[in-house]
Every structure is written in structure tokens, then in C-alpha cells.
Amino acid sequence: MKVISTNNVKKSPQSAPEPASKVRSVLREIVECCPHPSRLLELYYWSAEPELLATLHRYINLPQQPREALQAFLTMVADCPDSVNVHVSPNGDVTLSSPVIARLMSKMDVLRANTDPADVSH
């Protein structure tokens, strides 16, 4: 039996997979492993809206307090976005308002006024 050494055999360089091929491979794996296909579809729609993604990045970069205030406002008007009003003052103050929130705040004031401090446990 003749043994041939492979130490001197030149191997042809393996070409790296094309970037598009890598992306397809990653996407295929994501689709196959995703437990929530509807979320994938939603991400796809989001990616088709470049302005929305840019706005989301700006929102994420806001300091915590303004971000939480904006999130709370948007949550409270989620069922009635047409009620939102915006006013920008000459000095740059931006005011978001909604009669829906005004009603909610009024109800909260009534609840607070009717709550006996002795009933509130600390």
C-alpha cells in the first residue's frame, strides 16, 4: 500500500460565501426558528418605513423621563389618536394635549379627593 502525503498538496482557496448568501442564510434561520411569525411580518413592515425607524431611534435615545412621559401620553391616546393636538411656542416649547387625557386627569383628581388618607396603606 502506498501512502501519499497531503502536506505538499496545494489546496484551492475556499471562497468565502457571498454577503447576500450569508444574509439569506441568516434570514432562513430566523424564519425557521421564530416562534411568532406575525412579529417577523411586523418587523418587515417597519423596515419598509425608513422615517419610522429613524423616529424610533430618536425616541430610544431620549432621556428616560421624557421617553416615559411620551410613552404614557401615547398609551393614553392609543384608542383616539385623532384627539391629539400639538402646539409649538415661539420659544420652542412643544405641548401635546388631548381632551381624552384631560378627562382622565379629572377623574383621577376626583378619585384622589374621595380617597380617605387613612384607607391608603403604605
Domain extents in the chain: 19-61, 64-114
Write down the pLDDT at residue 3: 47
Count of CB atoms within 10 A of residue 77's CB? Answer: 19
Write down the pLDDT at residue 38: 87
Query: Residue 99: which residues within 8 A CB-CB, separation 6 or more?
Result: 83
> Could you give the percent of the chain with pLDDT greater than 90?
39
| pLDDT of 2 above 50 | no
| pLDDT of 82 above 80 | yes
pTM of this prediction exceeds 0.75 = no
Query: Residue 75: which residues within 8 A CB-CB, separation 6 or more?
Result: none
